């Protein structure tokens, strides 16, 4: 055995996932976190998505109340996602590191079902699945290397592209997009 518990044969059978494009953090104060990342890490401008509406949300196979706000911004080809939880029930945010730090990495995929199969074949276990009111499907998996989020974008990701372009010309002054 090698490759974190997977046999070499299993690695070849799994195939490659799309690249990691997102690093996500859980924060207790979204506004303060946006200010910090913009001022000290030169990440921005951020798009704030307050209280995202989910039409479906399940955690460990059962219905989950999942109310969170996000701030999204890019720098040098990497999206930073800041997440503030508002709901009280069990959910993926419960897996946040006690010391802060990275919660998960995100992968945008045009074929979420195929990439879910790849992660499961690699020994990952699905913890949470969400479908937003805009139709975006996300899945969170845990495994030997931590948490991975699949972000279903079968038609591309216009918001991500808009934020990526905004980051290229951002002057560092206003950390939040209107």
Q: Is pLDDT of 1 > 60?
A: no
- Tens-place pLDDT, residues 30-73: 999 999 999 999 999 999 999 998 999 999 999 999 999 999 99
User: Do 73 and 44 form a contact (C-beta atoms < 8 A)?
Assistant: yes
Domains and CATH numbers, the chain: 18-169 (3.10.180.10)
- Tens-place pLDDT, residues 145-175: 899 999 999 888 888 999 999 999 999 999 9
Give exposure, 22-39, as e/b (b: 16+ Cβ within 10 Å): bebbbbeebeebbeebbe
- Tens-place pLDDT, residues 116-143: 999 999 999 999 999 999 899 999 999 9
pLDDT of residue 162: 94
């Amino acid at each position: 055995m090698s490759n974190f518990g997977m046999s070499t044969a299993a690695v070849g059978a799994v195939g490659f996932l799309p690249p990691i494009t997102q690093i996500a953090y859980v924060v207790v104060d979204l506004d303060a976190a946006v200010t910090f990342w913009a001022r000290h890490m030169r990440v921005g401008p951020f798009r704030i998505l307050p209280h995202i509406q989910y039409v479906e949300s399940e955690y460990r196979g059962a219905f989950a109340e999942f109310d969170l706000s996000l701030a999204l911004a890019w720098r040098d080809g990497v999206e930073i996602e800041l997440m503030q939880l508002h709901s009280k029930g069990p959910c993926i945010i419960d897996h946040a590191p006690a010391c802060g730090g990275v919660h998960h990495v995100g992968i945008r995929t045009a074929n979420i079902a195929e990439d879910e199969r790849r992660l499961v074949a690699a020994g990952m276990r699905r913890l949470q699945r969400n479908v937003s009111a805009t139709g975006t499907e996300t899945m969170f998996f845990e495994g030997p290397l931590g948490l991975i989020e699949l972000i279903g974008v079968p038609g591309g990701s216009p918001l991500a592209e808009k934020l990526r372009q905004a980051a290229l010309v951002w002057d560092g002054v206003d950390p939040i997009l209107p």
